[in-house]
Chain A
Amino acid sequence: MKKILYIGLSIITSFTIATAKDVRLGIPPKTLEKYYPPNSEKYEFLMNMYKASTAFTGLSTSIREKDWQRAEKWAKTLKDAYLKIGELVPQWDKVLRKEEANFLVQAVKNKDIRKIQFFANAVGNTCSKCHDRYLASTKLLYHFPDFDTVTLEDPITSVEYNVSDYMKKMITSFKLLNVYMHDSKSKKAKKEGMNFVKRLKGLSQMCSECHTNQLSEKVYFGKDFYQKVKQLEQSIKNLNPNKISQTFNWINKNNCSKCHNVHEVPTMIREKIKKKQK
């Protein structure tokens, strides 16, 4: 009996542990902000990362080609870039394996392959550990565009809304179309349906806030989209629920979801990180 209880408990416990697993992203120190726009246009931190990464490739290639003179040059460049991380972001200084970086240069000088491998791994491990923890969150915070400042003018009320409030307005129009249709209030249903269409078309205002060349806008608001919008208008005019739902689903699948998948998910994670960073 005890055995069965024990097995049962272990299954429950292991299941709980398994489902309680979280994916964790480290929140990068605020200092990093200094090296990204609007505080800097030079991307100093990122440039230093590129420098270190190029030096790593230069080092391994030169060793493979037995070009020891250049290998030494790359080892020094790598060490300098690696140590500079601590200067740029003091909070990360303590995790650097500074001694190992120096020993790596020495090992290259001595052409000691075994030691080179050992110290390169030690240095490389700190890079990958840090990337594991901070790379995604850093990209989301400092590379991914901020939607906070994007506003759209509502074509019905001429009021300027932020993205999330505009979306709410738009989808409320669609819900009201369905509500009024259900309640046989046809004039109101048609009016709200047309408001929905206008707000849907009005979404195109958003793209050029970042996409200056209009190409991506054509993906979401191209010929097909406008054809379907015409169909939607027609089916709203005739209050044909099947046609409305068919056309809406097409637009949802081919337009809405594309943009949401690209922009909404990272934005949601970014917002969470930003809250924590505060």
Chain B
Amino acid sequence: MKKVIFLGVFFLFFSCENTQKLAYKLFLEEDLLKRPKSKRCADCHQNIYNQWKNSRHSVSWVSDDFKKSSNRYSKIKCLSCHAPLEIEPLKEPKLRDFHREEGINCVSCHFKEKTNSMHGPYEVFSPPHYSTKDPNYTKSKICAGCHRETYKQWKTANTQKNCQNCHMPSKKDNLIQKFPFYLLHKKKEVHNHSSPPLIASKEDIKLKIKVLKDEIKVLIKNTGIPHKLPTADQGKPKLYIKAEFFLNGEKVDEDSNMITHKQGIEYNKEKEFTFYSFENFDLVKISVSRKLSWKKKAEPITSISLDIEK
């Protein structure tokens, strides 16, 4: 009961504009507005920090793949997206010259110099730092400063889903975990900051097979993913389509097609791939798998088998 009364009084007190100003004066923690390390944000936003720690964003600067492909940071045009100072919709960011090891960190995406505040999708009262509600955070274009190619592909897909819907799924939760302050905020849809890459399912890909002399044609339609399969601006994600040829239950041959992000399969479009076998076969099995840029192994997506009278 005492807690409820305390909260009620607190809310009443801080709901008026002047007292909010006073609260900012009293509780503002200046260092938060000087682009601190992400661990500092974790003082309150523990869950989001933990998610980010597990994301590819957090290792975008220090990952072995990036070190190698940027030739130990020699390819300077690659650097700014891997340690951005401040992101802006549709605009390539500037490179940060501090805490680069954190890659795309909390303040890269949320702090804006011009408002001296943290931007996000909600109107929040957050005395330790100023906050600004920014509608861009609910739109795909906020990702497009760096993920330019994928954004272009998504635009042509003409779909209702945006980047955040799939890659930052949300659930009702507290934005902060620090006691007792989390009690002062209503729960909100909090987006997953681990930004999962996701994997296409059987339902997202339609396969059709045509059998000709010494070759089969496989038509693949991307019906579920509103960007190319695979997609990337850089990096080496791959989609593999493998054809295995059998005769009387024995595998006699195989052939495969490797699809890079530049030849990716567009949303709702069909693409044809040819597989050759100069052996006799009575069954062909087609399987589709994908490999993420930073993974060593491919993961299966779907497969289909077809009996053939050749």
Contacts and interface: CB of A to CB of B under 8 A. Distances in A.
Interface of A: 36-38, 41, 145-146, 148-149, 153, 155-156, 158, 186-187, 190-191, 194, 198, 202, 204-205, 208-210, 212, 214, 217, 233, 237
B67 to A, nearest CB: 9
A187 B278 contact: yes
Contact of A208 (B77, B256, B262, B278): B262
Contacts of B258: 153, 155, 158, 198, 202
Contacts of A148: 71
B241 to A, nearest CB: 11
B278 A38 contact: no
Contact of A37 (B68, B76, B234, B278): B76
A194 B255 CA distance: 9
Binding site secondary structure of chain B: mixed
Contacts of A158: 240, 258, 298
6 pairs of A and B residues whose beta carbons are closest in the complex: A155-B258, A38-B73, A37-B74, A38-B72, A187-B278, A38-B74
A106 B260 CA distance: 64
B43 interface: no
Contacts of B276: 190-191, 194, 237
A194 B274 CA distance: 11
Contacts of A37: 73-76
A187 B279 contact: yes
Contacts of A190: 214, 276, 278
A218 to B, nearest CB: 10
Interface string B252-282: 0001111010100000000000101011000
A155 B234 contact: no
B260 A212 contact: no
A209 B69 contact: yes
Given A41-B95, A204-B262, 11 more contacts: A146-B71, A146-B74, A153-B236, A153-B258, A158-B240, A198-B257, A204-B260, A212-B233, A212-B234, A233-B274, A237-B276
Contacts of A194: 255, 276
B71 A38 contact: yes
Contacts of A41: 76, 79, 95
B214 A237 contact: yes
B238 interface: yes
Contacts of B215: 237
Nearest to B95: A41
15 contacts: A41-B79, A146-B74, A149-B69, A149-B71, A155-B258, A156-B256, A186-B278, A187-B278, A187-B279, A190-B278, A191-B278, A204-B262, A205-B236, A212-B77, A212-B78
